Amino acid sequence: MMAKGNLKDFLDAKVELYNQPSFIKDDPICIPHLFTQKQDIEIAGFFAAMFAWGNRTTIINKSKELMQLMDMAPHQFITQHAETDLKKLLAFKHRTFNTTDLLYFIEFFKHHYSNHASLEQAFIKWGNEVEQMLIGFHHYFFSLEHVPNRTKKHVATPYKKSNCKRLNMFLRWMVRNDNRGVDFGVWKKIQPSQLICPVDLHVARVATRFNLLHRKQMDWQAALELTEYLKTLDAKDPVKYDFALFALGALEKYQ
C-alpha cells in the first residue's frame, strides 16, 4: 500500500504525463476537437461520449462518420435540416445505437437549441449537484412526445443506480478548464470541484488496486466513493485524476 503523499505524487505525475494534446488523437475527445463553435463542440462531444464503450478506434471512427453525415456542421445540420436531409442518416449504426435512437437524439437537440444557446442549460437548471443535474437531464432528454422506449438505455441516470460513466466524461470535457489543451472548459456555470469521476472497468480496477475504491458494484455509489477520495488529493479539481486512473488501466495495463 503506497503512502498517501507518495500516491498523490505518483498520480499527479501520471496526470501531467497524459493531460496534454498528444492524448487527444487516440481518445474519443478528438471528435469535439474537430470543431471550434461551442454548440458543435457540445453536440460532437455528446455523441462521442454516448458512443464511448468498447474499442476506442471504433468509437472514434463511428463518431467521425456521423459528423461527416452531418456535413461537419452538427449544430447547423440539427437546427436547419429538412426531412429529406435525414435520409442519409438512415443506415447509421454503432453497436446497439441505431437509426431510431439517432433520430430521437437529433429531435431532442433541435428542440433544445431552438430555446437555448448552450447544452449547459439542459444540466444546470435541475440543481447544484451533478447527481441532480443528471437525473433532471434524463427526464428532460426524454420529455418529448413519442419517445422510443429502446432509446432510453443510451442515456444513463443515477436514479437507476448507473455510474453514468459516459455522461460524467462528457461533463469533464465541457467543464474542466486547466488550459492544458485536452478538456474544453466551455461551460462556466458548473465548477470542476462539482464533477464526478467517470468510472469504467479500467478506472475501477486501478482505483481498487490503490484502495481508493472499496465498493464492488460499479454503480453511482462507486463513482461518488471514488470522487470523495480524489477530493482529498485535490478538492478543486478531483476529476483530473481520471487521466491517471484511465491511462494506468487502459494504456499501461497496470495490475
The C-alpha cell of 129 is what? Answer: 449537484
Q: Which residues pair with 97 in a beta bridge?
A: 94
pLDDT in tens, 142-162: 999 999 999 999 999 999 999
Tell me: pLDDT of 255 over 80.
no
Mean pLDDT (whole number) for 177-205: 97
Q: State the number of CA atoms in the 13 A half-sphere of 48 facing the CB.
A: 31
Name the band, by pLDDT with cuts 50, 70 and 90, for residue 1. Answer: low
Picking from 1, 18, 44, 52, the residue whose alpha carbon sits closest to that of residue 246 is: 18
What residue segments make up the domains of the chain, in order of their start? 4-251
Q: Which residue has the cell 458543435?
A: 40
Q: What is the dihedral of CA 35, 38, 42, 44, to 10 degrees?
A: -20
pLDDT in tens, 20-79: 999 999 999 999 999 999 999 999 999 999 999 889 999 999 999 999 999 999 999 999
Tell me: pLDDT of 129 over 70.
yes
Picking from 55, 56, 35, the residue whose alpha carbon sits closest to that of residue 44 is: 35
| Residues 6 or more apart in contact with residue 140 via CB below 8 angstroms | 122, 126
Amino acid at 58: T
- Asked if 157 and 134 touch (Cβ cutoff 8 Å), the reply is yes
Looking at residue 33, what is its pLDDT?
98
